[in-house]
Structures are given as structure tokens and as C-alpha cells.
Amino acid sequence: DTAVSQTPKYLVTQMGNDKSIKCEQNLGHDTMYWYKQDSKKFLKIMFSYNNKELIINETVPNRFSPKSPDKAHLNLHINSLELGDSAVYFCASSRSGPFEKLFFGSGTQLSVL
Amino acid sequence: EDKVVQSPLSLVVHEGDTVTLNCSYEVTNFRSLLWYKQEKKAPTFLFMLTSSGIEKKSGRLSSILDKKELFSILNITATQTGDSAVYLCAVPDSNSGYALNFGKGTSLLVTP
């Protein structure tokens, strides 16, 4: 069973479209994250939720909106996609409080044309 | 602002060589330092270091932390082609602790 799973694995779309990426973890973890990895492989935090509450909201455009219906799920919706949004988006989870190690999903490769 | 700097950015070695990857950090509130290996997809956890001078070991990989000099090294002995990957170093965010701040990674290529 995959611990942190995200769908879809690949997403190719036109500029201006709206898309969603879903993430689920079956580890019983309390905290979930979205990271963005650019073409130079730099991983940067976007959002963090702890028990469905938003903990971290980095400087991310308002077009990105996370939603956590329960602590096992954290989805990412992106409005009005732009070329610069092309990247790999990773979902991750950690057990409980801060300073815990992260478990990553396999990533969603988003290409905006 | 927390800072994590890895060196070298890339490295090519032959199978059997030993490599040392470096990670230096500047954080307001240090709790731990983590190493991850990223092959094609998800970063996978290697080590978490919290105490200075205590080596963590897993097979041919080992890592040590120096809290006085603010750095860590990751050693890989007798490298194999399967060690080819990007190695990422990270520290928990000083403000919240909930996120990891990553370095830019070291891309390691092991040639046969």
C-alpha cells in the first residue's frame, strides 16, 4: 500500500485553465504539506496543514488554494494556470508536531502550455 | 531567514569510489538536520541528526553533524551505480518547525 499517494502523476494543460491535484496518506499522520520542485530540483514549501488547520502559507499566489477535508487528505487547486506554474508538486506528511521527518508522495509533474 | 547550502552541486565518480557531500546551515533555532535521497520520484528519508559528533550509519552511507561549525557531511563508501541520485539536506523551519527548508541538493552520478 502506498503511504502517501497523489493523483494525477502527470498533468498537461493550457494556460488559463483550472486544475486540482489530490493527495491522500494512510499513515495516520496529523500533518500534511505541499512542496513545489522547480526545474533546478529546488524543493520549496508551499502549505502545511496540521489536523486540517492551516499552519504554513508561504508566499504563494492566491491562485493556489489548498483544501483539507480531513487529516488524511490535502488537495491543491490551482486557478488560471500560468507557464511559471510548471513544476513537480509533491505532497508529504509527518507524524504529529513539528520537527518530524517527512514522507513524500511520488509527485505530480505539471506542464502548462 | 534559515539558510541551507549544499556542496558540491554535482559530482561524477566511478563505481567503488568514496564520496563526501557537504551541507552547511544557518538557522535561528536549530533542532535537527535531515538527509534525503531523490532518485526519479519522491525524496526518501536517509538520516535525521540532532546531536553533534554522533555518526548515523546505514550500510555504506553514514552522516555526522557538527553543531559548533554548523555543518553536516554525508559519506558514501564503495559507491554503486544505484547511488546515483540527488541528495538533499534540510532543516526544520525555525519559526514553525512544521516545514523543512531544503538545500539545492547535490546531484551524484556514479559511472560503471
The stretch B11-18 carries a mean pLDDT of 97
Q: Is the pLDDT of residue B48 over 90?
A: yes
- Weakest-pLDDT range from A10-14, A93-97, B34-38, B102-106: A93-97
The stretch B58-81 carries a mean pLDDT of 95
Q: Is the pLDDT of residue A1 over 70?
A: no
Cβ-based contacts under 8 A for chains A and B: 60
Whole-number pLDDT of residue A54: 87
The more confident residue out of B51 and B65 is B65
Q: How does DSSP classify residue A106?
A: -
The three-state (H, E, C) secondary structure of B42-94, written as one string: CEEEEEEECCCCCCEEECCEEEEEECCCCEEEEEECCCCHHHCEEEEEEEECC
Q: How does DSSP classify residue A2?
A: -
Task: Find the CB nearest B97 among A41, A99, A106.
Answer: A99
Beta strand ranges found along chain A (DSSP E)? 4-7, 10-13, 19-25, 31-37, 43-50, 53-57, 64-70, 73-78, 87-94, 103-104, 108-112
Q: How confident is the model at residue A30 (pLDDT cuts 50, 70, 90)?
A: very high
Strands B43-49 and B33-38: antiparallel
How many other C-beta atoms can be found within 10 angstroms of the C-beta atom of residue B94? 15
The stretch A18-32 carries a mean pLDDT of 95
The more confident residue out of B55 and B88 is B88
Task: Find the CB nearest A56 among B38, B88, B96.
Answer: B96
Q: Which residues pair with B21 in a beta bridge?
A: B74
pLDDT tens digits, residue range A35-81?
A: 999 988 889 999 999 888 888 778 789 999 999 999 999 999 999 99
Burial class (CB in 10 A: 0-12, 13-18, 19+), A69: exposed
Q: How far is A45 from chain B (nearest CA, A)?
A: 7
Q: How confident is the model at residue A29 (pLDDT cuts 50, 70, 90)?
A: very high
Mean pLDDT of chain A: 92
| Consecutive H or E run containing B25 | strand B19-26
The stretch A6-27 carries a mean pLDDT of 96
Whole-number pLDDT of residue B29: 84
| 3-class DSSP state of A84 | helix
Q: How far is B81 from chain A (nearest CA, A)?
A: 20
State which residue of chain B sits closest to A54, comparing Cα positions.
B98
Backbone angles phi, psi at B41, to 5 degrees: -120, -115
Inter-chain residue contact B97 with A97, CB threshold 8 Å: yes
